[in-house]
Structure 1
Amino acid sequence: MKLSREREKLLNAIIFFCNNTKHCYKLKLMKLLYYLDFWHFKETGRSVTGLTYRAWDKGTVPTKVYWEIDPPNNPDDLKEFLYVEEEVYDEITGKKKFNIKAKKDFNEKIFTKREIEILKRIVEVFYDARGDLMKDATHLRNAPWDKTIKEKGKNAEIDYLLALDDESNSLTPDIVKDKILFDKQNREVLDSL
């Protein structure tokens, strides 16, 4: 089965997070993927996985992966890389969770050096965190989720440009827009060959 580069990175990022964090159930995984994509976008103007995120009550959610994690919906490529156990009851929250385990080894070679650094940084920050606490962190005032809820309402797509800020590692919106246009033009040229 031939996977797109973004899809292969997504599945390997999930493997990395499952192997290197505690409590990596569905909710936490959604937040880890959000941080991977938005932190990378902030520094480079590109996401790692190409996922679209929406502003749900639970925070930022990559809806495609959210639905794919449910065992009846597992696509073949996900089944090849991951094992998703039927729901496991969490005694602390009183909710059911999906336990996700890796079937394959993590393939570091498909990631850039920066992507690996961001994966490691995320694991360092959120190693012990539980998904419900991470959900609260994505709801902070002026975070992309908060701005999207205020400007577009619930369930709206979260614009990656909202990841940009005044921190020294953040690109400016103009630079990112130029990079996006340049990438689009390059893809069109390559597609025409």
Structure 2
Amino acid sequence: MELTLAQEKALNALVYFAERIKPLYLTKAIKLLYMADEQAIRDTGVPITWLDYKAWRFGPVPEDVYNKVKQVDNLQKLDAGDGVLYSLKVSDAPADLPEGLVLNPIRPFNDDEFSDYEIEILQKVIDRYGKLTSEQLVDILHQEGTLWHRVVQANNLKQQFELKSNRSDYIIEFTDLLDTDYKKAAFEVAYQSHLMQQNLM
């Protein structure tokens, strides 16, 4: 099964997290992934993965990666390949643990697609947030002024989340964090390069 470059890199980042955080719940893993991308944008203007994160009730979620991780067992059975999907095992949490799915690494993190700086960001996110619960991470990402909060406010999503659905299709725009001309230029150059790589696949 084919993955985009962004999805492959994101799944590999999840392996990095799963090697270092035990137990690692899917909800927490997705939050840490978002925090790594946001931190990279704040620092340099360029995210690590180029995923699109949607504003869902419990924070930013890259829907395509989230769905693939939830279905990883089935996808592994269908896929005859040897890709990054075979690096993660997804299992139900034991009954005495509070959340649903736990991620465990099957194969080691592959750093081929990551710069030293990107790995440093992944590690910084673990050092800062790795001991927090999923609920605590959700609280941080829901604070007033965060990108998630801005999207929810601008599109009146709070009532939708309470009455109708935990999901939305509204994308969280990292470009709102590009606060210098240097970061804007870096983002544009890197984005064009990302598009070219995607088209070559």
TMscore range, shorter length: 0.7 to 0.9
Q: Give 5+ residue unaligned stretches, structure 1.
A: 165-170
Alignment CA distance shift 1:138-1:48 (3 Å): same
User: Structure 2: how far apart are the matches of 1:144 and 1:125?
Assistant: 19
Taking structure 1 as reference, are residues 109 and 184 closer, same or farther at Cα in structure 2, changes over 3 Å only?
closer
Matches within 5 A, 1:83-122: 83-85=89-91, 87-89=92-94, 91=96, 93=98, 96-122=99-125
Compute the displacement of 1:174 (Å).
3.4
Could you report, residue by residue, the CA deviation over 1:136-164 in whole angstroms, capped at 9, with x for unpaired residues?
A: 111011011111111134321100023x2
Please give the alpha-carbon distance, in whole angstroms, between the structure 2 residues aligned to 1:188 and 1:15: 25
Q: 2:24 maps to which residue?
A: 24
Distance (whole Å) between structure 2 residues aligned to residue 39 and residue 90 of structure 1: 34
Whether the 8 Å contact between 1:22 and 1:127 is mirrored in structure 2 is no
Q: Does 1:176 align with 2:146?
A: no
- Matching residue within 145, 150, 159 for 1:147: 150
Ranges in structure 2 where 5+ consecutive residues have no aligned partner: 158-167
**Distance in structure 2 (CA, Å) of the matches to 1:58 and 1:111:** 28
Q: How far apart are the structure 2 equivalents of 1:177 and 1:129?
A: 32
TM-superposition CA deviations, 1:103-138 (whole Å, max 9, x none):
211123431121111111111112221112111111
Give a deviation string over 1:72-118, Cα, whole Å, max 9, x none. Answer: 66464453221111x2255464xx41111112111234311211111
Aligned length: 182
Partner of residue 80, structure 1: 86
> Normalization by structure 1: what TM-score?
0.79
- Partner of residue 175, structure 2: 161
- Residue in structure 2 matched with residue 49 of structure 1 by the alignment: 49
Measured in 1, the distance between the counterparts of 2:88 and 2:153 equals 36
Greater Cα offset, 140-149 or 4-13? 4-13
CA distance change for structure 1 residues 104 and 112 in 2, over 3 Å: closer, same or farther? same
| Letter in structure 1 aligned against 2:105 | A
The 3-state SS of whatever aligns with 1:128 is coil
Secondary structure in structure 2 of the residue aligned to 1:22? coil
Change (3 A) 1:161 1:82: same
Distance 1:105 1:139, change over 3 A: same
* Residues 132 and 178 of structure 1, relative CA distance in 2, 3 Å threshold: same
Q: Aligned in 2, Cα 1:90/1:119: closer, same or farther, shift over 3 Å? A: farther
Distance 2:26 2:127 in 1: 19
8 A contact 1:67–1:73 mirrored in 2 = no
| 1:181–1:110 distance in 2 versus 1, CA, 3 Å | closer
Q: Percent identity?
A: 27
Amino acid across the alignment from 1:81: S
Q: Offset of 1:8 from its aligned partner?
A: 3.6
